Structure 1
Amino acid sequence: MDELLSRLFSSEEEESHMLDCMAHFMVFMAACTLVTLLFENVPYGRYASSKYGFAVNVKFAWFIQELPAFLVPLALLLWTSSSKTSLLPNQLLLAMYFCHYTQRSLIYPFLIRGGKSTPFASFALAFVFCVYNGYMQVRYLSHYAEYPADWVTHPCFIAGSGLWLVGWLVNVHSDHILRNLRNPGETGYKIPRGGVFEYVSGANFFGEITEWAGFALAGHSVHSAAFAIFTLVVLTSRAVAHHKWYLAKFDDYPKSRKALIPFVF
């Protein structure tokens, strides 16, 4: 892959500049997505529509669309000169990234029970995003990111790592609750209960937003910040849509629950 990258970029300075541009473009796309989602729900699950293309099996879609977020970074680590991977801050940040996507791409898809098919447009966009973001995050951390020698003891890194861990645990636990809402043979929707679902309708989204916000705080780069911002925009929209849907669907839905942030929003 070093040879491929050398053909794409005339120097490391050019690639580093491109990574910065990719991050700024992701922020721009987050703004465009925010405007779009004011008028349209993300077309997946209960909001899926045939106007976004043919349906893709949900397990297949999740596995294939998330896999590049794991394989592209893995290839970068194995087959390129990763000059910064010997540094502890970089190693820990890479571990956070891979911990999430090992679970999300290699474990989560095979635990899905039922679930509606994914429109092809959503599937394709998610696949492209995972390639794009996987390259941007891991190439920066493995080859360009430089931190002070004591960065792992800096308050930003400690607080960010703690947020990441809390967010990851909430995300995984909330997915577990959603998977087990129905007994074998049951159909239809149920009110999720337990864990952070006692406080918000989008507990899984709250967990993932917290996770990548912590990653951005610990990573202290435009690249990790761009990812956190994009995640915030997309998942906030999903949480609000879910909250409204639950309130309309169930007369006994807990009125004290918020959409995304406990006690606040």
Structure 2
Amino acid sequence: MESLLSSLFSENEELYILDCMAYVMVFMAACTFVTLLFENVPYGRYASSRYGFPVNAKFAWFIQELPAILVPLCLLLWTSAAKTSLLPNQLLIAMYLCHYVQRSLIYPFLIRGGKPTPFISFALAFVFCIYNGYMQIRYLSHYAEYPADWVTHPCFITGSLLWLVGWLVNVHSDHILRNLRKPGETGYKIPTGGMFEYVSGANFFGEITEWAGFALAGHSVHSVAFSIFTTVVLASRAVAHHKWYLAKFEDYPKGRKALFPFLF
């Protein structure tokens, strides 16, 4: 793979391309933000046949997230990965992989039922995971340079703690959602416990916090672009969920916010 990448462009050219990929992601986040003002993300309860044929939820989650693991592993195992001997780079790569190992290899097999995913949503997620997986890990494994004491810098420490808190909130919130219904029960219920006591989109809040921490610790345009894109998409889902819950349940907690506790 190293020879293939070397034949395509020089190191300076590749770094420039990686930077451009980050700016394109920010631009796509802006376009997505405008689009989602008028349209819900087409998945789950908001899915529609106009977005393509339905794909089984477990299969969709497993396959669409898998490139986020496979692409980085190929880059780490089959390229020079010159910066992976550095501790800050190792820790940031570990944060990234920890999320996606859970998301692709564990989470899909814990889903109970689950609404099918429209093919277009599935395909876009698959492409995004390839794109982002290459951008994040190629930069961290081959180009990112941090000061020798970066792991003790307040930005890295704060970012790492935010990432950990966000990851735990995300995983715990998914656990609550999976266990809302007892065996044999159908229909929707109001989630309670954990961060759901404060926001309707607790799982989304956790993931947004996670990648905001990653961006702060990573201190690069690539990690910031990922955080911005994630925030745009998941904030839209949280707002849609919040509005749906308020319309669906008369007894829905009125003080509960959509995404950020006490604020929004």
TM range (shorter): over 0.9
Give 1:230's aligned residue.
229
Give 2:263's aligned residue.
264
Give 2:32's aligned residue.
33
Amino acid at match of 2:6: S
CA distance in structure 1 between the partners assigned to 2:240 and 2:166 by the alignment: 21
Alignment length, in residue pairs?
264
Give 2:239's aligned residue.
240
Amino acid at match of 1:245: W
RMSD of aligned alpha carbons: 0.4
Give 1:6's aligned residue.
6
Give 2:50's aligned residue.
51
Amino acid at match of 1:115: G
Amino acid at match of 1:185: G
Give 1:74's aligned residue.
73
CA distance in structure 1 between the partners assigned to 2:104 and 2:137 by the alignment: 16
CA distance in structure 2 between the partners assigned to 1:66 and 1:189 by the alignment: 26
Amino acid at match of 2:55: V
Structure 1: 5+ residue runs without aligned partners?
A: none
Give 1:202's aligned residue.
201
Give 2:151's aligned residue.
152
Give 1:214's aligned residue.
213
Q: After the TM superposition, which residues 51-200 of structure 1 pair with which residues of structure 2 at under 5 Å, given as runs?
A: 51-200=50-199
Q: 1:7 offset after TM fit, Å?
A: 2.3
Query: So what's the TM-score if we normalise by structure 2?
Result: 0.99
CA distance in structure 1 between the partners assigned to 2:11 and 2:65 by the alignment: 28
SS in 2 for 1:187: coil
CA distance in structure 2 between the partners assigned to 1:193 and 1:23 by the alignment: 37
SS in 2 for 1:191: coil
